[in-house]
Chains A and B, each alone.
Chain A
Amino acid sequence: QSFKVVHDEL
């Protein structure tokens, strides 16, 4: 599974 890139910064 390709780990979804999550952007936690604004």
Chain B
Amino acid sequence: MNIFRLLGDLSHLLAIIILLLKIWNSRSCAGISGRSQFLFAIVFTARYLDLFFTFISLYNTVMKIVFLATSYGTLYLMYIKFKATYDSNHDTFRIEFLILPAIALALLINEEFTVIEILWTFSIYLESVAILPQLFMVSKTGEAESITSHYLFALGSYRALYILNWIYRWFLTEKLNAIAIVAGIVQTILYCDFFYLYLTKVLKGKKLQLPA
């Protein structure tokens, strides 16, 4: 464990908590893409199956349980409890165009052709594009609440911090996973235009307006 990975995991946890609090306190999931949240739940489910038979550390196990519980909790809030506030008209990104290529790629490019490793690789590929429905929705609605942009900033920062963690581990000549690194770079690049808008607008108190 190093400071970059710890900050990355905490940033990820912060993003999930910001989202849960936003939905719970405002009793609304307006502006939030349920499809992205659905993809995140798939990512965690496919990646954390080793929860039951590989013990890395207490931290690792606890965080996996927290991420699984909060992602399904978010789905519950969005699709059941506050279903009436879910903006399905703007949440229309075709997620099958993300899931199917991720499955195909995981079958073609992986470290080990076993079920658990293929699922892990699938979750890595899917996570790198899972935010697209949310970014698409923000561009379609043309704007996002500031709380949603804080959520996106924390979520985008998590994988950016993981890149620093991989650089740090590279200097320590630790074993790295090229698949996770390439996917992590792609994932972070997808946030770049949002990061620019967030740093130049939201932090100056303006609303986040994405060019439609």
Residues of A within 8 A of B (CB): 2, 4-10
Contact = CB atoms under 8 A, between A and B. Distances in A.
B117 A5 contact: yes
A10 B12 contact: yes
Contacts of B60: 8, 10
B64 interface: yes
B9 interface: yes
B63 interface: yes
Does more than half of chain A's interface fall in helix, strand or loop, or is it mixed?
Answer: loop
Nearest to A6: B54
B64 A10 contact: yes
Minimum-distance CB pairs A-B, first 7: A5-B111, A5-B112, A8-B56, A10-B63, A10-B9, A5-B117, A7-B120
Interface string B160-188: 00100100000000000100100000000
Interface of B: 5, 9, 12, 47, 50, 54, 56, 60, 63-64, 67, 111-112, 117, 120, 162, 165, 177, 180
A9 B5 contact: yes
Contact of A9 (B112, B117, B180): B180
A9 B60 CA distance: 8
Contacts of A2: 112
Contact of A7 (B63, B162, B177): B177
Nearest to A2: B112
A9 to B, nearest CB: 7
Nearest to A4: B112
Contacts of B67: 10
Contacts of B63: 10
A10 B9 CA distance: 8
A6 B117 CA distance: 9
